[in-house]
Structures are given as C-alpha cells and as structure tokens.
Chain A
Amino acid sequence: MLGEFEYLLITTAARLGDNAYGAAIREGIEEIAQRKCSIGALYTTIERLEAKGLLTTWMGEATAERGGRAKRMVRVTGKGTRAAKEFYDAVMRVSSGASWAVSRPERLS
C-alpha cells in the first residue's frame, strides 16, 4: 500500500504525463495539496518508488532557465498505476459514510 505522499507524487506525475520532472511535480504537489514540498522529500520518494518499480526515471534535456542543467524525467509504470488505483479505492471505501466525505452522485439521486 502506498503512503500519502507517494500517492500524491504518482498522481501528479501521471497528470503531467510527458512533462513530469522534478520541478514540475513539486509545483504540482504544492498547488494541489496546498503545502510545501521539499526537494529532499521529493527526490528520496522518487528514488524509493523507482526501486519498487512504480516509476521509471531518466535524464532529460537541459534548458537555459535551469542554468543548462538536465531534468530528471519521471514516468509512472503500469505497476505504479495499479498501486495508485488501489490506494484511491481504499481511501474511497474507508471514507464512505464519514461526515466529511462528499456523497457520490448516484447516492444523491
């Protein structure tokens, strides 16, 4: 089972698609989760997820705005997608009936 931050990272990387790399993922997490994301937490988590086979990484292109430094590109693997789906389903199941959980449309009808 994924951890919360691992889920955030995988989901953000999946949303970014081909543009998923360190700075973009960090910005995405900070924007969605409304909290600071440290470079240390980001890169150690990327490494851990890669070791588990949930992500793959490779060195991408260098750009001028990065001072000519290359990006570390990230892609979610099939195994990573399944792990994220499991986490999402588990959260949805465990949340059903909780007062803060948003009711699903079918329940409202």
Chain B
Amino acid sequence: MTSTLWPLVELAARPLECDEREAVLGDALESGDGTWQTLSSVFGLVLRRQLLLWKSWRPWLAVFVLGLPGAYLLMIVSISVTCTYDRLMGMKVGHWAPTGHEGFALLLCHIFLLIAWSWASGFTLGSLSPKTLWLNAALCLLMVPICDDHLRTMTLSRFAQYLFLLPAIWGVYQGVRTVRLKRTTAFLLAATITVLMIAAWTNGALWIGNWLLLCPAWFLVAMARGAGNDSNAAQNTSMAGRARSY
C-alpha cells in the first residue's frame, strides 16, 4: 500500500459509517490491495450506499420537495426582509417590490417568520434524511447563480438573500442530533408560525407562495413523538439499525 496516497483513501471513506469505515480500511490493509484498487472499491461502496438511500421516499421528499423549493422561497423572504428594513431606514432599495405594507411590527413579524421557517425547514431536512444533506447543499449551491440573476437587486448587499442560512444550519444541526421533537414543542412552533402568517396575510404582507414554508413546521408535528414515547432513531446503535437509517 502506497502510504503517501493512503490519506486519499481515508478521505474517500469518510461518508461511510464509522464501524464500516474501520472494517473496510482494515480489510484493504490486511488483503494488501493496491491504493488505486482500494480507492475504487471504497468509491464503489460509497456509491452503492448512496444509491440505496434513494430507495426510500425520505431523500426524495427532503431534497426535491422541501430542500430546493424551500431554499428558493427563503432567499426571496430574506431579500424581502432586507428591502423592508432598508426602506424603513430611509435607504434607496431599487426596483424590488415588497409584498406588504411596511411597518416595524410587520418587519418584526417577518423576521420571526424567516427565522422560524428556516429553522423548521433545516430541522426537517436534518431529521428526515441526514445522509443526503451534502446533496441538498450541493444543489442549493448550484442554484445560487440562477437565484442571483432573478432575485438580487443592485443596491442590496450580496449576502441579503442568505439571511436564512444561519437559522437553517442551526435547525439542520439540531435535526440531525434530535431527530424528532416533542409533540407539544412541535405543535407550539407550528401554531405560532400559522398565527403569524395569518396576521401577515390579512395585512397584505405575505406572498401566496410563502404558505409552502408552513409545510415543514406541520410535518414536524406529524413526525413528533408523544410524551411517553422516548424512542429515538438516533439512539439505535445496532449495525442493522444504522443501515436502515437514511
């Protein structure tokens, strides 16, 4: 085994589960396989593992129903919030047309909704399909130039459309660790978002497409665990259990 290229093999094996990585790399060392052979074997295994994930509905829902449309909508909301803030501060905003009547109360409502939508979307993605998060991130990155052309106004900061990222990443992090919220917590979150959305809608401060951002919050309610049920998929440490996780 060429030791100089071994870190490359270890890097390629990173997406594998810890125990499986240990066993596979150990087997390759014991068998005395060449570095390139080991590398292609590891790539093959990683590819098989990724393909197997797509036999479930979860990654499809996470990536194509929630992830990409959600990211696009949240970019629009981020720009809307920045525009409203800039206008209220007396700055020139350009041709961007806000959805609502401007006022500090509605701005605060929008900011809260942006954080809540982003967090709920991130949490849903993190808990639904943690192993395809990298694909979600890659596709969102591919979407950035398209969204740049459509959304950004010349007068806004380049980062205006990414306001949602921080709460979304926070949500993803918690979703991966917690997997399921308690039913009361999930219900409170979804109910608060719904009430604020209705308030914003009646004031003409919500675009119809924003209602789609309510889906992750109610999805969390549907997936929430009851008070007496403490079972948690993340706590399943058996190898078969981990194989079935997504």
Contact = CB atoms under 8 A, between A and B. Distances in A.
B86 interface: no
**Chain B, interface residues (CB within 8 Å), range:** 20 to 34
Contacts of A57: 239
Interface string B133-165: 000000000000000000000000000000000
A43 B24 contact: yes
A63 B25 CA distance: 12
Given A44-B49, A50-B243, A39 B20 contact: no
Interface string B24-35: 111111110000
Contact of A22 (B27, B48, B49, B244): B27
A39 B41 contact: yes
Given A44-B52, A59-B19, A39 B28 contact: yes
A66 B26 CA distance: 5
Contact-residue size bin, chain A (C-beta under 8 Å from the other chain) = 20 to 34
A67 interface: yes
A51 B240 CA distance: 6
Interface stretch (A2-10, A68-76, A80-88, A95-103): A68-76
B31 A40 contact: no
Contact of A40 (B25, B45, B243): B45
Interface of A: 21-23, 26-27, 38-40, 43-44, 47, 50-51, 57-59, 62-63, 65-67, 69-72
